[in-house]
Chains A and B, each alone.
Chain A
Amino acid sequence: MGDSPDSAAITVEGLWKIFGPRAHEVLDGDDRHLDPVALREKTGCTAAVRDVSFAVRPGEVFVVMGLSGSGKSTLVRCLTRLVEPSAGTITIGGEDVRAASPARLREIRRHRVSMVFQHFGLLPHRRVIDNVAYGLEIQGAARAERHARAAEILSLVGLDGHADAYPDQLSGGMQQRVGLARALAVDPQVMLLDEPFSALDPLIRRDMQAEVVRLHREVGKTMVFITHDLSEALKLGERIAIMRAGAIVQVGTAEELVGAPADDYVADFVRDVPRANVLTLRWICRDPEPGEPLDGPELPAGTRVADAVGVASASSRPIKVVAGGELAGVVDRVDLLAFLAGQDTPARAKA
């Protein structure tokens, strides 16, 4: 969160969303600090989003991860006020979303931010091409123009030849490609993806994740990606925010979360993550002991532990870990084995 707000694509400060009849009383009083169960018992209100702040850099894939009921879907809907926030500020592309008039808000939704939904939200009475062109249609684009654009996007998401099909004639994965295409068609600066793949089969889900990675590379949109699937979060997210009971517990890269969980909740979460695939040598290297030979193979500090195993097996000498041309430390076979066996490591010690 080191970015200054003006350079960020999205900034959220002190965002609250409380559902219930007396939301504002709760917000103004001390009750808001109660935990969710106590709050509901006392006031009948539910705090879905509690004092959330974060910033998303332009072009970044920012993942919000949490279990169901953690408020992540409400959070993402607050960003374009599909759900009206109770308090806080939201800035998208430098514009204060909460202050926007209804007309201005529509403009933001039409041109700046588009959204992909868990259950696709396609219009079953329209052909695929008309679904994709829907956003352009409500902007008032002419038919020929919007169809041309939609066809272009369809081929980008790999749906050439399906333009005239109806959504219910497509598989789930293909339907979500239509959903993606619809969101892309309006050429937004930011895409919000609300658990887009959780309704899909595991194999299809993997394909779609790869698709998102590819699309992100090709079109470079800023993305806020909601998921309850940790491996998905680790795979896609440049940075990941972990939500619990409406609040963000920790924001960081995959490595930071796994290597340095902020609390037991996060630690518990990431326990089963294959650490060797996430952590880099930076996390396990140590200062060379006196007399240790330093003529072994050299690897950058950003190398993932799993990738170092091959090198270590080829040479019995400790591996030199280099960062910025300087020696950051060494890792030998015993260190690697100990790490892989899950014994206490320096990284663990740090936490």
Chain B
Amino acid sequence: MSSTAVSAAAGLRLPRWAVPAGAAVVIAAAYVVFRGTATLPHDDEAPQFLAVTELREWIDDHRNDNPLFLYFLNYIRLFVGALYTFFQGVLHALGWPGITGVMGALAWLAGGRRIALVAVAGVSTFGVLGLWESSVDTLALVGVAVLLSLAIGIPVGVWAGLSARVRRAVTPVLDVMQIMPTFAYLAPLALFFHIGAPAGAIATMIYAIPPAIRITALAVSEVSPTAVEASVSLGATRRQTLVKVYLPLARSTMALAVNQTIMMALSMVVIANLISAPGLGGDIIRGLSRAQVGIMLPAGVAVVVMAVVLDRMTMALVDRDPHARLRRLDLVAAGVPAAAGVALIPVLPQVWPESLTIDMVAEVNAAVAWAETNWYAVTTFVKDATSYALLNPLESLLTSAPWWLVALTVLLVAWRVSGLRRALTALACLLAIALLGVWEHTMQTMTTVAVAVLVALVIGLALGVAAARSPRFSAVQRPLLDAAQTMPAFVYLLPALALFGTTRFTAIFASVVYAVPPVVRLVEDGIRAVPAPVVEAAVSAGSTPGQLLWKVQLPMARPAILLAANQGIVMTLAMVVIGGLVGAGALGYDVVSGFSQRTDFGMGFVAGVATVLLGVMLDRITQGADRRPSPRKRKVT
């Protein structure tokens, strides 16, 4: 929309839209002529899939005699597994009194009384919901994954922060890791690390390490160069400067790295249940497979509560007054609940007493059933209308178009938006997808993503513009967005499933809910970042608010809006793939199916790879001319 404003203003010589419009006409004509030729229909038995399935069979047979497994991979698995067993053992030994006390104490040290109350209330919630044991398992898994992620991420991050060369080497890897839809790397992991808690922890680490590295590197590279120079000029060794200058000065930003690592880990452990990692994910998957929101909801709430508690605790560390020192009073105050909790271990039962739990399964199910029956007409209409009006036509368009035409279109669009180099990357990804034999499913997934992104962008733009123009609206909306961004992605499937059953639309709904908050935020910030003098000048020239918006604010916020689109696409793709669990079909379903049916393993694996390629492609197309900052911008800035 910004381009219409610009082109309307600049329509003197050859209109700017002439070239793209011409290209569009040529492509449309080519489609009409070549429609139905050179399509690449899906084949469940494609040789690519079979090869991978065979590889998996081979690995399964040689897991215990191949040296790579025997001396390397299996040791990693054993180590992570042992660590998990240790964490889980300690937590279970602490029992609920011990965990409540210790968490309360840690929270007090991190942020004082208020945070301690949040922590104690949160931990008690696990018990009240009747999910004590799964919650503790999840906590242990998150603990292991976060600990190992930080153990790897912080040193690498510090190194990358100190050396531009390392940073350049690491950044593209991190980019890909972050674009990779979580779902995609479960299959390869199962291949190398089998299933169970260790594989789950490792999958979680892959997801949680990038922010740890990225934010740590940022923290270190932002350390005042003069302070460093001052230290060196006084004859400090590298080590002294690192320990006495870099690390202390980067500390509060590094606490943010810890925070983000925990949040990422928490949203991943749920998904990791698909490869049999223990914890709350099991309850959510159980709810999904029984289509019972009553089972999923408490587990979802427990995950959110855990996210909120851990988020508040670590954010308290980030926000802490840099000069505040631990007062003795706080130490004592924190010691009391810890000591009390530990002292109560032998007295109170380890497991949360059943009399104190609230069972909401039946009530929630009843409420959902009510909504289903009473809103059936509306939800079905919405679902069917979207399918018939948008999804099905677009899908048949993409699947019936010759592959070379789609590739050409992608190349041209990406070239125009993001430049030749990125366009070539995008093209390479698309061609690789074609070679992998998952073209048709990729086109279907792309359809779903396109529709979801369209909806998310429209809503996000509307809300973002509204927020940018009305401070009051923004004030109401902001805490909601904060909360939404703290929640693990999986949770959004719940309401979607309750309303729409298992269809493609469920995935669209969930991904819209998932992607809207960051889009709103980026758009709002983008519009607000338009310099005040520019706005003043426009207003003093007599612009109406509408003119101001269309001619000044939106065009100037274009980079932010592009970034919002980019983020929206990456997030939507991740969610649409997860939507394979609830009927979204195509690549996501292939991945799910790959876990479920041994004969489909190859297809699932390939679909996972294709998802990554699709993610990279969409990212490159929409990257625009600007560098892409790390996602979840909220806390970094």
What residues make up the interface of A, taking CB atoms closer than 8 Å to B?
Answer: 77, 80, 82, 106-111, 113-115, 117-126, 134-135, 137-139, 166, 179, 182, 186, 192
Q: Could you tell me if B226 and A114 are in contact, using CB atoms closer than 8 angstroms?
A: no
Interface string of B209-237 (1 = CB under 8 A from A): 00000000000000010111111111111
Q: Could you tell me if A186 and B234 are in contact, using CB atoms closer than 8 angstroms?
A: yes
Smallest CB gap from A109: residue in B: B235
Q: Could you tell me if B227 and A121 are in contact, using CB atoms closer than 8 angstroms?
A: yes
Cα–Cα, bound, A294→B455 (Å) = 100
B residues less than 8 Å from A117 (CB atoms)? 226, 229-230
Smallest CB gap from A108: residue in B: B235
Cα–Cα, bound, A124→B226 (Å) = 12
- The list of the 7 closest CB pairs from A to B, nearest first, reads A110-B235, A121-B230, A109-B235, A121-B226, A135-B234, A115-B233, A106-B235
What residues make up the interface of B, taking CB atoms closer than 8 Å to A?
Answer: 224, 226-237, 240, 244-245, 248-249, 251, 322-323
A123 and B240 in contact, given A114-B233, A182-B230 (Cβ under 8 angstroms): no
A residues less than 8 Å from B251 (CB atoms)? 125
Of the residues A109, A111, A192, contact of B232 by C-beta under 8 Å: A109
Q: Could you tell me if A109 and B233 are in contact, using CB atoms closer than 8 angstroms?
A: yes
A110 and B248 in contact, given A121-B227, A125-B322, A138-B240 (Cβ under 8 angstroms): no
Smallest CB gap from B322: residue in A: A125
Smallest CB gap from B241: residue in A: A138
What distance in Å separates the Cβ of B439 from its nearest Cβ neighbour in chain A?
45
What distance in Å separates the Cβ of B466 from its nearest Cβ neighbour in chain A?
38
23 A-B contact pairs sorted by A residue (CB < 8 Å): A80-B233, A82-B229, A106-B235, A106-B236, A107-B235, A108-B235, A109-B235, A110-B235, A113-B233, A114-B233, A115-B229, A115-B233, A122-B230, A123-B230, A125-B251, A126-B248, A135-B234, A138-B231, A138-B234, A138-B236, A138-B237, A139-B235, A166-B323
B residues less than 8 Å from A107 (CB atoms)? 235
Cα–Cα, bound, A110→B248 (Å) = 22
What distance in Å separates the Cβ of A198 from its nearest Cβ neighbour in chain B?
13
A residues less than 8 Å from B228 (CB atoms)? 121
Q: Could you tell me if A123 and B227 are in contact, using CB atoms closer than 8 angstroms?
A: yes
Cα–Cα, bound, A113→B83 (Å) = 50
Smallest CB gap from A185: residue in B: B234
Cα–Cα, bound, A119→B230 (Å) = 10
What distance in Å separates the Cβ of A122 from its nearest Cβ neighbour in chain B?
7
B residues less than 8 Å from A110 (CB atoms)? 234-235
B residues less than 8 Å from A114 (CB atoms)? 233-234
A residues less than 8 Å from B237 (CB atoms)? 106, 138
Smallest CB gap from A165: residue in B: B323
Cα–Cα, bound, A115→B237 (Å) = 16
Cα–Cα, bound, A271→B365 (Å) = 89
Cα–Cα, bound, A139→B240 (Å) = 10
Of the residues B226, B231, B233, B244, contact of A119 by C-beta under 8 Å: B226
B residues less than 8 Å from A166 (CB atoms)? 322-323
B residues less than 8 Å from A182 (CB atoms)? 230, 234
What distance in Å separates the Cβ of B11 from its nearest Cβ neighbour in chain A?
39
What distance in Å separates the Cβ of B435 from its nearest Cβ neighbour in chain A?
39
Smallest CB gap from A110: residue in B: B235
Cα–Cα, bound, A123→B224 (Å) = 9
Q: Could you tell me if B249 and A125 are in contact, using CB atoms closer than 8 angstroms?
A: yes
A residues less than 8 Å from B322 (CB atoms)? 124-125, 166
B residues less than 8 Å from A139 (CB atoms)? 235
- Majority secondary structure, B binding face: helix
Cα–Cα, bound, A109→B235 (Å) = 5
Q: Could you tell me if B232 and A82 are in contact, using CB atoms closer than 8 angstroms?
A: yes
Cα–Cα, bound, A43→B565 (Å) = 41
Smallest CB gap from A119: residue in B: B226
Smallest CB gap from B234: residue in A: A135
Q: Could you tell me if B235 and A138 are in contact, using CB atoms closer than 8 angstroms?
A: yes
A119 and B224 in contact, given A106-B237, A124-B249, A125-B249 (Cβ under 8 angstroms): yes
What distance in Å separates the Cβ of B224 from its nearest Cβ neighbour in chain A?
7
A134 and B233 in contact, given A125-B248, A125-B249, A125-B322 (Cβ under 8 angstroms): no
Cα–Cα, bound, A80→B231 (Å) = 13
Q: Could you tell me if A123 and B249 are in contact, using CB atoms closer than 8 angstroms?
A: yes
B residues less than 8 Å from A109 (CB atoms)? 232-235
Cα–Cα, bound, A109→B248 (Å) = 23
What distance in Å separates the Cβ of A215 from its nearest Cβ neighbour in chain B?
18
B residues less than 8 Å from A179 (CB atoms)? 230
Q: Could you tell me if B226 and A123 are in contact, using CB atoms closer than 8 angstroms?
A: no
Smallest CB gap from B247: residue in A: A125
A115 and B230 in contact, given A123-B245, A125-B322 (Cβ under 8 angstroms): yes
Cα–Cα, bound, A106→B235 (Å) = 4
Smallest CB gap from B237: residue in A: A106
What distance in Å separates the Cβ of A100 from its nearest Cβ neighbour in chain B?
12
A residues less than 8 Å from B230 (CB atoms)? 115, 117, 121-123, 179, 182
What distance in Å separates the Cβ of A130 from its nearest Cβ neighbour in chain B?
10
B residues less than 8 Å from A120 (CB atoms)? 226
B residues less than 8 Å from A126 (CB atoms)? 248
Cα–Cα, bound, A118→B233 (Å) = 14
Cα–Cα, bound, A130→B226 (Å) = 17
Q: Could you tell me if B224 and A135 are in contact, using CB atoms closer than 8 angstroms?
A: no
Cα–Cα, bound, A182→B224 (Å) = 17
What distance in Å separates the Cβ of A226 from its nearest Cβ neighbour in chain B?
13
What distance in Å separates the Cβ of A109 from its nearest Cβ neighbour in chain B?
4
- Scoring A114, A118, A121 by chain B CB atoms within 10 A of each residue's CB, the highest score goes to A121
What distance in Å separates the Cβ of A117 from its nearest Cβ neighbour in chain B?
5
A121 and B224 in contact, given A82-B229, A182-B230 (Cβ under 8 angstroms): yes
A82 and B233 in contact, given A125-B249, A166-B323 (Cβ under 8 angstroms): yes
Smallest CB gap from A136: residue in B: B234
Cα–Cα, bound, A341→B131 (Å) = 94
Q: Could you tell me if A138 and B232 are in contact, using CB atoms closer than 8 angstroms?
A: no
What distance in Å separates the Cβ of B512 from its nearest Cβ neighbour in chain A?
43
Cα–Cα, bound, A139→B233 (Å) = 12
Task: List 18 extra interface pairs beyond A114-B234, A123-B248, CB under 8 A.
Answer: A80-B233, A82-B233, A106-B235, A106-B237, A108-B235, A115-B229, A115-B230, A119-B226, A121-B231, A122-B230, A123-B230, A123-B231, A124-B227, A134-B231, A134-B244, A135-B234, A138-B231, A139-B235
Cα–Cα, bound, A124→B227 (Å) = 9
Q: Could you tell me if B244 and A138 are in contact, using CB atoms closer than 8 angstroms?
A: yes
Cα–Cα, bound, A77→B232 (Å) = 11
What distance in Å separates the Cβ of B227 from its nearest Cβ neighbour in chain A?
5
B residues less than 8 Å from A138 (CB atoms)? 231, 234-237, 240, 244
Cα–Cα, bound, A83→B191 (Å) = 51
B residues less than 8 Å from A135 (CB atoms)? 234-235
What distance in Å separates the Cβ of A72 from its nearest Cβ neighbour in chain B?
16
Cα–Cα, bound, A232→B227 (Å) = 25
B residues less than 8 Å from A122 (CB atoms)? 227, 230
Smallest CB gap from A77: residue in B: B229
What distance in Å separates the Cβ of A24 from its nearest Cβ neighbour in chain B?
20
A residues less than 8 Å from B234 (CB atoms)? 109-110, 114-115, 134-135, 138, 182, 186
Cα–Cα, bound, A119→B226 (Å) = 7
Smallest CB gap from B230: residue in A: A121
B residues less than 8 Å from A124 (CB atoms)? 227, 249, 322
